[in-house]
Amino acid sequence: MNVSRFIARKMSDGDVGEEKGRISIISNRIAWISVAISIAIMIIAIAVVLGFKSEIREKATGFMGSVILVAPGQSPLNEQYPSSDSFSCAGRISDLNYVKSVDGVAYRSGIIKNDNQINGLYFKGVDSLYDLSFFEKSLVEGKLPDFKGRVSNDVLISRRLASSLNYKVGDDLVAYFIGNDVKVRKFTICGLFDAQLEDVDKTMALIDLRHVQRLNGWTSNQISSIEVRIDPAKDIPQATDEIENILFSFSTEDDPSLFVTSITRVYAHLFDWLTLLDLNVLMVLVLMIAVAGFNMISAILIILFEKISMIGLLKSLGMNNKGIGNVFLYRAGRIVGKGILWGSVAALVICCVQKYLKVITLNPDNYFVKYVPIHISLLDVVLIDAAAAVVIMLILSVSTIFISKISPDKTMRVE
């Protein structure tokens, strides 16, 4: 039988029947409430950051994929130096368990106008096999373009762009392509999407790949870049390195020269912003752990002072300092456990309310989303709770050093 745990349990049971005004009872309540608030804030902070990461990554990869293969020295929007959409190790890349699709796309810059307003635009050409699930999720009006069969004149643009140029679904969109000569094409707006990434929304339109290839003077197998979409759970830099190794190891002399880049480099400003959020969350975690830890130290010291006679008695009966310290650590553990339990429950309730009801809204022009995003799992909560409990108990173990300074012959006389 663990004597320290038995004594701690009896101490806790004895406090229930004691007067409510005792300082230790008040301090205990303050301590577990402090722990609960700290745990709730930590869980919510991590849930929000993970939510932002998930949303921003989904939006960025929705436009260009996670990993991009381009001609050396060119950007993914390249319209001058085409690459072939066929290369020998394409199958090896597609067979990776985290790769969802490998698609060739082509770009051409153009100008559109309506009344007296002019806007530059990148026309992204895709084929009928291209994964349009992101645009389907972002679609707010109209329908998705259909690129099967004959060359389609459908164009999908953003609601933000349509609003600025007074376009609506069903309108004709006349585009001018400047090169050695001016080429004019007329498209029909089939739908509007809203991805809430202003820089991309206003500068990207989706059209048939065959239109872009003709405008660029390319053959049917020439494209600007190759987009590789991967599972959201897969780390993008790691996937980039693995795909780069495949190209380096298995490419042949007949393959086109391809350079591997990632969406984290193309939209570096978005991912740098997410990195700053990580730093902010780290500061919140440290601060909340410190607050909870020091409040618990205050509570345990008050208990120590109130039980100073008992400490002297236990010492006189032969219990060592470590055993007595464990008594108070077990007692503190019950308080910490109560705070962690209630804090976790409160955090999960708040996260669920925000996730499903979207109570707290944001300005998408500044935050790229319309509401505070939430992404958390029970495993994340368990890991946060376990880490917090370990750190707080380690902090509390320092306070038990006070026990070694107590002399039985003096404390036994304390009433």
pLDDT digits 0-9 by tens, 294-343: 877 777 777 776 666 776 767 666 677 677 777 777 778 888 889 999 99
Same domain, 86 and 200: yes
Model confidence over 367-391: pLDDT tens digits? 788 889 999 888 989 999 998 888 8
HSE-up of residue 390 (Cα within 13 Å, Cβ side): 6
Which residue, among 199, 190, 189, has the nearest Cα to 60 in the 3D structure?
Answer: 199
Same domain, 83 and 198: yes
Same domain, 26 and 51: yes
CA distance 285 to 44: 11
Model confidence over 193-238: pLDDT tens digits? 998 887 788 889 999 999 999 999 999 899 999 999 999 889 999 9
pLDDT at 122: 93
Residue 239: inside a domain: yes
| Mean pLDDT of the residues in the chain | 84
- Pairs from 405-409 (Cβ < 8 Å, separation ≥ 24): 406/308, 406/311, 406/312, 406/315, 407/312, 408/312, 408/313, 408/315, 408/316, 409/312
pLDDT at 107: 95
pLDDT at 321: 67
Tell me the pLDDT band of 20, cut-offs 50, 70 and 90: very low
Give the bridge partners for 229, in sequence order: 101
User: What does the pLDDT average to over 148-172?
Assistant: 91
Tokens standing for residue 189: 């707006």
The more confident residue out of 252 and 306 is 252
pLDDT at 153: 93
Same domain, 100 and 244: yes
The more confident residue out of 31 and 242 is 242
Tokens standing for residue 208: 């048939």
Same domain, 29 and 162: no
Tell me the pLDDT band of 353, cut-offs 50, 70 and 90: very high
pLDDT at 23: 58
Which residue, among 70, 76, 69, 75, has the nearest Cα to 99 in the 3D structure?
Answer: 69
Domain region containing 102: 72-257
Tell me the pLDDT band of 276, cut-offs 50, 70 and 90: confident
Same domain, 185 and 83: yes
Residue at which a domain ends, from 204, 229, 257:
257
Tell me the pLDDT band of 27, cut-offs 50, 70 and 90: confident
Same domain, 277 and 223: no
Q: Could you tell me the pTM of the whole model? A: 0.79
pLDDT at 18: 47
CA distance 404 to 68: 64
What crossing angle do the helices spanning 268-306 and 321-357 adopt, rounded to 10°? 140
Residue 123: inside a domain: yes
Tokens standing for residue 302: 């008050």
Count of positions (residues) in the chain? 415
Residue 29: inside a domain: yes
Same domain, 293 and 323: yes
Residue 263: inside a domain: no
The more confident residue out of 292 and 177 is 177
Rounded percentage of the chain residues whose pLDDT exceeds 90? 37
Same domain, 140 and 228: yes
Residue 64: inside a domain: no
Which residue, among 294, 302, 309, has the nearest Cα to 331 in the 3D structure?
Answer: 302
Model confidence over 61-120: pLDDT tens digits? 888 889 999 988 888 888 888 888 888 888 899 999 999 999 999 999 999 987 778 888
The more confident residue out of 232 and 400 is 232
Same domain, 234 and 278: no
Task: Kindly tell me if the per-residue pLDDT of 365 is higher than 80.
Answer: no
Tell me the pLDDT band of 8, cut-offs 50, 70 and 90: low
pLDDT at 116: 76
Q: How far is CA 93 from CA 100, 242, 252, 414, in A?
A: 10, 9, 15, 77
User: What does the pLDDT average to over 333-355?
Assistant: 92
Residue 67: inside a domain: no
Model confidence over 165-194: pLDDT tens digits? 889 999 999 999 988 888 999 999 999 999
Residue at which a domain ends, from 257, 292, 318:
257
Task: Kindly tell me if the per-residue pLDDT of 344 is higher than 90.
Answer: yes
With vertex at residue 121, the alpha carbon angle to CA 115 and CA 123, rounded to the nearest 5 degrees, is 120
Residue 265: inside a domain: no
Model confidence over 239-250: pLDDT tens digits? 999 999 999 888
Residue 65: inside a domain: no
Same domain, 235 and 309: no
Same domain, 33 and 120: no
Locus of tokens 């946060």 = 384
User: What does the pLDDT average to over 138-146?
Assistant: 93
Name the domain count of the chain: 2
pLDDT at 85: 84
Residue at which a domain ends, from 228, 257, 286:
257
pLDDT at 269: 82
Task: Kindly tell me if the per-residue pLDDT of 405 is higher than 70.
Answer: no
CA distance 256 to 88: 9
Tell me the pLDDT band of 252, cut-offs 50, 70 and 90: confident
Write the burial class of residue 108 (CB in 10 Å: 0-12 exposed, 13-18 middle, 19+ buried): buried
Query: Distance from first CA to last CA of the chain, Å, rounded?
Result: 30
